[in-house]
Structure 1
Amino acid sequence: MDFYATLFELIDMRSFSNLWYWIALAVLWSTASHFVLGVPFDLAQKARRQGGERMEELEAMVRINIGRLLNIAEVSGLLITALVATVITVLGVTGFVYGAEFSQAVFLMAFPMTLVALLNLRTARRIAAQAPRGEALVALLRRHRLFVQIIGMLSIFVTAMWGMYQNIATGPLGG
């Protein structure tokens, strides 16, 4: 057996057996749960503990980020929705109907993130309508983060189960 065959057997280049895919999945969900509506969650915790100027900074950052998010949704929401729906559909069909493992892997990352994007939009609209301040704002951000983490845990579980199934079904070298 030559060097390249040994190397590619050791480092499988398929999506679900590739270590880089799992690292990217972990980074994706870690980042998604850390940045709540674009605001680092540790800022919300510091604002809750220290209050005063920290809370004002948090409220300003949230106001700016939800303004941007709602503006994007209003100006180009229909176009973004159509584009995302098309990409998700193409990934789903090529992955699960035609069996392209790469499409399956990207779909299992992208589809749950669309749910997070919808949750972000819903929470942004709620904050814009209610204009919570102080502790109420932090509680809303905390609840939003919990829902993102639940989506992330379910997504990682489903992806791990599907990835293990693919690895068992296709064997060590994809055949």
Structure 2
Amino acid sequence: MSFYQSVFELIDMRSFSNLWFWIALAVMWSTASHWVLGVPYDMVLRARRNGGQAEQDLEDLTRINTNRLLYIANVSGLWLLGFGCFLLTALAVLGFAYQLEIAQALFLLGFPMSIVGLLSLSTARLIHQEQAEGEQLRRRLTRHRLYVQITGMLSIFVTALWGMYQNMNIGPLGG
């Protein structure tokens, strides 16, 4: 038996039975719910508790990140949308039509994150239009975080169901 066969036998390289996939999924959603529009959520809490300089820092960082996000969307938004749709469609076809498990896993990671990206863009536009600051800004960021967490919970649930189905499914016809 060669070295590579030994390694692949020791470590299951299928996506849904690999511990690293589930760790990456948990880290991805933990990070997504902590960084709200590029602002760490603890800054929102600190601004709510302390006000003053913490509030000003929150407003400045949010303004910088929303302006950056809106600039990217205005300059290259259509190209990013087209490339993202192409990539997700390719992963969906490879994964679910051609039964390539790594493409299924990448689709189940990428599709919900694209929803989070669209939510972030929508929230950035609202913050920019309203010129939100103070309590209004904190409410908007908290609501956005809640939507990201709901998306994450649904994503983890669907991914876990699909992963269990894939792990219990033996062979191409399920038997």
Task: Name the counterpart of 2:103.
Answer: 103
Counterpart mapping for 1:56-95 below 5 A: 56-95=56-95
TM-score (structure 1 length as normaliser): 0.93
**Structure 1 partner of 2:151:** 151
> Deviation of residue 132 (structure 1)?
1.5
1:144 shift after superposition = 0.3
Please, which moves more after superposition, 8-17 or 18-27? 8-17
What is the deviation of 1:8?
4.0
Partner in structure 2 of residue 140 of structure 1: 140
**SS at the partner of 1:84?**
helix
Question: Among the aligned pairs, what percent are the same residue?
Answer: 60
- Superposition RMSD in Å: 1.8
CA distance in 1: counterparts of 2:38 and 2:96, whole angstroms: 32
Following TM superposition, by how much is the alpha carbon of 1:72 offset from its aligned partner in structure 2, in angstroms?
0.1
Superposed CA deviations along residues 108-155 of structure 1, whole A, max 9, x for unmatched, are 000000000000000000000011111111111001000000000000
C-alpha spacing 1:52/1:60, structure 2 compared with 1 (3 Å): same
SS at match of 1:150: helix
What letter is aligned with 1:50? N
Give, as a single letter, the amino acid of the residue that structure 2 aligns with 1:54: A
Aligned to 2:43: 43
The aligned runs of 1:104-143 (5 Å cut-off) are 104-143=104-143
One-letter amino acid of the structure 2 residue matched with residue 63 of structure 1: R
Find out whether 1:54 has 2:58 as its counterpart.
no
Deviations 1:8-57 (A, max 9, x none): 44531100011111111111101100000000000110011000111001
Could you say what secondary structure the match of 1:170 adopts? coil
Q: Which has the higher contact order (CA 8 A, sep 6+)?
A: 1
**TM-score, structure 2 as length reference:** 0.93
Give the AA of the match of 2:126: R
> What runs of 5+ residues in structure 1 fail to find an aligned partner?
none
- Partner residue in 2 for 1:11: 11
CA distance in 2 between partners of 1:165 and 1:72 (Å): 39
Instruction: Give the counterpart letter for 1:113 in structure 2.
Output: M
In the alignment, the residues of structure 2 paired with residue 109 and residue 73 of structure 1 have an alpha-carbon distance, to the nearest angstrom, of: 22
